[in-house]
Structure 1
Amino acid sequence: MLTPSQTVGPFFGHALPFAEGPFAVPEDHPDAIELHGRVLDGAGEPVPDALLEICQPGLFGRCPTEADGSYRFRTARPETYIPLLVFARGLLKPVWTRVYLTEDAPLPAEVDPARRGTLVASPTGERSYRFDVRLQGDGETVFFAF
């Protein structure tokens, strides 16, 4: 008999710290960008206790959300997209999405054209991008199967 899945967490403080945290590259890295945004629930309310991870070739970052659902990473500009994994209360398993930095990036063909915008970050400066994660409801972020 299989045992049921448990919700993600609790997160144990001693197991979560990652030396570099959300900083996958140093500030002076020539391709450094900032990726920031908020994690929101189905009602548009912030999720203050989510944990996000990015993983690019040779780079890794982990960031908890703040009380207002905000997060911030410093990473290198990707060749195509940044994989983003979201752990949050109420999820039985983490959800995975992609962050594209431009609308003309080669987005997956199987994604409904009306929802493709949920995969594209908005520029907020020369090397800064905003990407909000909506876990469900109107404007829900597209999530992929592993």
Structure 2
Amino acid sequence: MSDLLTPSQTVGPFLSLGLTWPAGYQVVPEGSPGAIRITGTVTDGAGEPVTDALVETWQADADGRFDHPDDPRGASGSGFAGFGRCATDEDGSFRIVTVKPGALGDGQAPHVDVSVFARGLLDRVVTRIYFPDEEAANAADPLLSSLPPERAATLVAKDVGEDGLRFDIRLRGAGETVFLVV
């Protein structure tokens, strides 16, 4: 038996082999009533784009309900899956077309849950996208209000006019996005 360590390996980048699908970025079809576009870039600690990441979103419907039996109020019956998945492109960019979720009724501001899978990560990282037009709800949100303002700002998307919202994800380094322990 040897005392030498076995070299470590990262997971992937094999995400595109089966975890993506062409319309996965469409939680709702573009042009649907209330549809919004969220775009962003995933970058590493050096600020370089991560070209082989997978961004996954999950959210409530516009009424703040989930069509899932685990919703404490019971499944909404809306048929809204609330799930999206988009691989980053050669610029590290992603996009999701969805609707703004309603408040959940438990003090949390409207938000979209986000998981990021990428090379060098042995497990996904989880964060949230909050909405810039929800100042009062964001100020009262238990997560956002527990963070210093400069850290909370990494969780609030930016309004970019007709192009929708922008939410960049920095995996490490200065301006690192806040990630949650789940």
Give me the TM-score of the superposition, normalised by structure 1. Answer: 0.87
Correspondent of 1:134 among 147, 170, 181: 170
Q: Does 1:33 align with 2:36?
A: yes
Q: Does 1:68 align with 2:71?
A: no
How far, CA to CA, are the matches of 1:11 and 1:113 in structure 2? Answer: 36
- Single out whichever of 45-54 and 102-111 deviates more from structure 2: 102-111
Shift of 1:13: 4.1
Q: Which runs of 5+ in 2 are unaligned?
A: 1-7, 61-80, 103-109
User: AA paired with 1:93?
Assistant: D
Q: Which residue in the other structure is 1:110 paired with?
A: 146
User: AA paired with 1:16?
Assistant: L
How far, CA to CA, are the matches of 1:14 and 1:69 in structure 2? Answer: 18
Larger relative strand fraction? 1
Correspondences of 1:1-146 after superposition (within 5 Å): 7-11=10-14, 13-18=16-21, 20-57=23-60, 58-79=81-102, 80-102=110-132, 104=135, 105=138, 106-107=140-141, 108=143, 109-126=145-162, 128-146=164-182
Closer/same/farther in 2, CA of residues 60 and 96 from structure 1, 3 Å limit = same
Q: Which runs of 5+ in 1 are unaligned?
A: none
- After superposition, what is the alpha-carbon deviation per residue over 1:84-104, rounded to whole angstroms, capped at 9, x for unaligned? 110011111100000011161
Total equivalences in the alignment: 142
How far, CA to CA, are the matches of 1:12 and 1:132 in structure 2? Answer: 20
Shift of 1:113: 2.4
- After superposition, what is the alpha-carbon deviation per residue over 1:14-53, rounded to whole angstroms, capped at 9, x for unaligned? 4223363101101232111000010011111101010000
Q: Per the alignment, in what secondary structure is the counterpart of residue 83 of structure 2? A: strand
**CA root-mean-square deviation:** 2.0
Closer/same/farther in 2, CA of residues 14 and 99 from structure 1, 3 Å limit = same
- Single out whichever of 45-54 and 109-118 deviates more from structure 2: 109-118
Larger relative helix fraction? 2
How far, CA to CA, are the matches of 1:110 and 1:31 in structure 2? Answer: 30
User: AA paired with 1:61?
Assistant: G
Do 1:8 and 1:87's aligned partners in 2 also have CA atoms closer than 8 Å? no
Q: Per the alignment, in what secondary structure is the counterpart of residue 172 of structure 2? A: coil
Q: Per the alignment, in what secondary structure is the counterpart of residue 86 of structure 1? A: strand
